[in-house]
Each structure stands twice: as structure tokens, then as C-alpha cells.
């Protein structure tokens, strides 16, 4: 299907790529932004849905194990230590799968994603480093028929995982493993440029960046230098509407339907947070667990007051002077939420923001679009008036 076709989800489309494949016929049942079906997809993937009375599962989804890790020998060129890339490489080397669905970068632009079905470790390694823009990963499903690929490892974010789970029985695969990453606030390529130009001292040299647990955005530049900017110093008036509408209406920050999740949000600074959701996830983890340094998850601090203050500040599009943003950042880093409490802070902040956005822009979708776990979390806070 040609790019640019009208999307059934309209402005809420996350460009997951399903509409660019022959599986477009399934989109009205599969698209996360048309048909929310967390409970049934969790049951399909894990054999049960999350327990809403269990505070960890309420926030982080179904899990069998949760811990923090680093590769003992960091992978050169990786964004952090390289756990995700190494998993993809090991899956091919140990013949667990025939191909890995991952995202390389366009030869013309570092931040333009190029989804591929990688057949070799080198092709997986070429996908190192996050591309924080909307990516049509599932478009490469079009290449499956006739490819000989019967066992696939798919690496992606929540909206892609939801759509993939919804159509997986029709893909003709014998085995499907899903390695998920937490995801929030993606942008178009144009939106990314606006963000970089308003935030970084050298937007043209940024290689990658991440919103980290120390309440700072960490930029790495092409010359190897690093730059950090406090969350509280962002140009909120300029950036408030830069994020994709799909991300402003998403409640799957933690990639609830993946087999294994690897991200930073629930770990101490410089560690990665791993969630094994089922036995398939454990099978993936078995590929690399002997190569990891690990430690238990931890949690400290209190998030509730900071979340409520953030709701009000965001809604009013407040921007602090840089000096004050630095001071606030230092204070929050010392006494603010850490570990799993930081993860809950981030989830609360985004869920309340997104519920407010939906209520204002798509009130007709709010009741169906807000899953039960998100409703319970959002109800703990005072939201701005519609």
C-alpha cells in the first residue's frame, strides 16, 4: 500500500505501519487508537490480564520477574549498554529466530527510522540507538509471505505491539517473540527538529537523547560530548503541542503486551529496567542473562505532590528561568522519587496529561479509550477543567 493513504485512526494514527501492509484489512480491530483491548491482548500474550489490586501490576502490567541490569561488557555504539541489540544478535546466533524486526536509520538522516527484517547480527547492530520519531515498523510484515521467515523476534513500542498481537495469528509464523521498549512522547521528524532546536545547545550534532531518571534530558553529540538539560527548563509553551496526537492519547507506556520489556524508567540512573512478562520473555532473557550485572528494583521518595504540581504547571504552559530550573532539578534529584517510584511518577504525569488531552480534544472517545488501569491511576489526581 502506498504511503500517504488515509488512516482509519485519522489524526490519532501513530504510523505503526499496519496500514502499509496487506494486514490493513484488520486495522479497525487491531489499531490501538481505534479499538482499545488491553485485557484481551494481555490474556492472549500472557495467559491472564493484570491484577488491578496489585500496585505493581496496576502500573507495570503482568510480570513474572522485574529487576535492573547492565551488560557486563557494554556494546560499542549502543545508546546505553546495549541489552536490546545484544538480545537481537543472540536470538539469531543461537537460532532462536530466523529474523529480527528492528529499526535502522535512513542513510540520509540519523533520526529518520528505517524498519527492516534483519537476518544477520550485523543488520541488527546497524539498528543500535533509539530513533525518537514515529516509525512504521509493521510495514515490513508485507515482506513475510514467501520470505521463509517462520520464527520472528519483533522489537517495538506499545502501539506496534498491540497491533502485532491483534494480527499475529494471521501472519503464518510458527514462533513470535516480542521484545518491547517503554515509549512515551514520540514526534514527527518536524516535531523532533522543533524539540532539538528549542532544547539543545547544538541541535545539528545530537546523536541521541533520553529523558532520564535524574530529571534531566541527556544529549550525546557526534563529537562524543554530552549535554544535560533539566526537565523543568523546557520551553513548555513551544513544546506543548509538538508531541504526536497518538502519544497524547496513549496509555501503554510500559508495553504491556510484550514478552520482555527493556527500558530505563524503573531503574536507578545508568541501569536498565527489565520486566519478564511470561515464559517466552524468560526464554529471550536466557539468551543474555549470563552476560548481565543485575540488582533488585528499588523505590524511594514520594511522587504524588510533584505529579499534581506538574499537572497544573503543564496545563498553564509555565516555563521556569534556566537558573531556577537548575535549582529545582538539583532539589528534586536529591529528594524526589527514584526507581519504581520515579516510574510511577512518570506514568502518573503522562496518564493525567493524556486523559486531559483526550477529554478536551476527543471527549467522545474518552470512556472507551481510557483502559481500566489508567482510569484507576488518573482518578487519584485533580485534573484541569475541560
What element of type H or E holds 228?
Answer: strand 226-230
Task: With a cut of 50, say whether residue 27 has pLDDT above it.
Answer: yes
Task: Give the CB-side neighbour count of residue 355, counting CA atoms within 13 A.
Answer: 25
- The answer to whether 136 and 158 have CB atoms below 8 angstroms apart is no
Q: Read off the C-alpha cell for 113.
A: 527510522
Q: Read off the C-alpha cell for 168.
A: 499475529
Tell me the average pLDDT across 315-320: 73
pLDDT given for residue 130 in this prediction: 82
Tell me the average pLDDT across 109-118: 93
Residue with cell 520551553: 235
pLDDT given for residue 2 in this prediction: 41
Tell me the average pLDDT across 354-371: 93
Task: With a cut of 80, say whether residue 4 has pLDDT above it.
Answer: no
SS (H, E, C) 94-146: CCCCCEEEEEEECCCCCCCEEEEEECCHHHHHCCCCCCCECCCHHHHHHHCCC
- The answer to whether 62 and 50 have CB atoms below 8 angstroms apart is yes
* Cα–Cα separations (whole angstroms), residue 286 to 81, 90, 175, 281, 282: 17, 10, 17, 9, 6
pLDDT given for residue 188 in this prediction: 83
Tell me what percent of the residues of the chain surpass a pLDDT of 90: 72
Query: Between residues 187 and 202, which one has the greater pLDDT?
Result: 202
Task: With a cut of 90, say whether residue 315 has pLDDT above it.
Answer: no
pLDDT given for residue 276 in this prediction: 98
Helix, strand and coil percent figures for the chain, each rounded to 5: 40, 20, 40
Task: With a cut of 70, say whether residue 117 has pLDDT above it.
Answer: yes
- The answer to whether 346 and 266 have CB atoms below 8 angstroms apart is no
Tell me the average pLDDT across 241-265: 94
- The answer to whether 261 and 255 have CB atoms below 8 angstroms apart is yes
Task: With a cut of 50, say whether residue 191 has pLDDT above it.
Answer: yes
Amino acid at each position: 500500500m502506498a504511503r500517504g493513504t488515509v488512516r482509519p485512526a485519522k489524526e490519532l494514527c501513530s504510523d505503526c505501519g499496519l496500514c502499509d501492509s496487506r494486514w490493513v484489512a484488520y486495522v479497525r480491530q487491531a489499531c490501538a487508537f481505534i479499538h482499545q483491548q488491553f485485557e484481551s491482548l494481555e490474556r492472549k500474550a500472557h495467559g491472564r490480564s493484570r491484577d488491578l489490586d496489585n500496585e505493581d501490576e496496576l502500573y507495570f502490567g503482568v510480570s513474572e520477574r522485574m529487576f535492573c541490569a547492565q551488560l557486563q561488557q557494554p556494546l560499542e555504539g549502543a545508546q546505553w549498554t546495549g541489552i536490546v541489540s545484544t538480545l537481537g544478535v543472540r536470538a539469531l546466533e543461537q537460532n532462536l529466530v530466523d529474523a529480527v524486526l528492528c529499526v535502522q536509520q535512513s542513510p540520509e538522516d540519523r533520526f529518520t527510522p528505517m524498519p527492516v527484517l534483519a537476518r544477520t547480527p550485523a543488520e541488527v547492530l546497524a539498528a543500535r540507538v533509539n530513533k525518537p520519531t514515529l516509525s512504521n515498523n509493521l510495514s515490513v510484515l508485507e515482506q513475510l509471505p514467501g520470505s521463509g521467515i517462520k520464527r520472528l523476534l519483533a522489537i517495538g513500542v506499545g502501539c506496534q505491539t498491540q497491533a502485532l498481537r491483534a494480527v499475529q495469528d494471521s501472519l503464518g509464523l510458527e514462533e513470535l517473540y516480542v521484545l518491547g521498549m517503554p515509549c512515551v512522547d514520540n514526534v514527527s521528524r518536524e516535531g523532533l527538529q522543533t524539540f532539538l532546536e528549542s532544547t539543545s545547545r547544538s541541535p545539528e550534532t545530537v546523536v541521541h537523547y533520553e529523558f532520564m531518571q535524574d530529571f534531566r534530558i541527556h544529549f550525546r553529540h557526534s563529537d562524543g560530548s554530552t549535554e544535560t538539560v533539566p526537565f523543568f527548563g523546557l520551553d513548555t509553551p513551544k513544546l506543548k503541542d509538538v508531541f504526536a496526537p497518538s502519544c497524547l492519547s496513549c496509555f501503554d507506556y510500559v508495553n504491556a503486551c510484550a514478552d520482555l520489556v527493556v527500558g530505563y524508567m524503573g531503574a536507578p540512573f545508568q541501569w536498565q529496567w527489565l520486566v519478564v512478562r511470561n515464559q517466552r520473555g524468560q526464554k529471550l532473557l536466557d539468551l543474555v542473562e549470563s552476560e548481565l550485572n543485575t540488582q533488585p528494583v528499588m523505590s524511594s521518595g514520594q511522587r504524588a505532590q510533584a505529579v499534581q504540581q506538574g499537572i497544573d504547571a503543564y496545563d498553564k504552559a509555565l516555563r521556569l528561568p534556566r537558573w531556577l530550573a537548575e535549582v529545582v532539578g538539583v532539589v528534586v534529584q536529591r529528594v524526589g522519587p527514584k526507581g519504581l517510584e520515579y516510574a510511577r511518577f512518570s506514568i502518573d504525569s503522562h496518564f493525567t496529561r493524556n486523559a486531559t488531552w483526550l477529554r478536551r480534544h476527543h471527549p467522545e472517545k474518552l470512556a472507551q479509550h481510557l483502559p481500566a488501569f489508567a482510569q484507576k491511576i488518573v482518578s487519584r489526581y485533580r485534573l484541569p477543567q475541560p
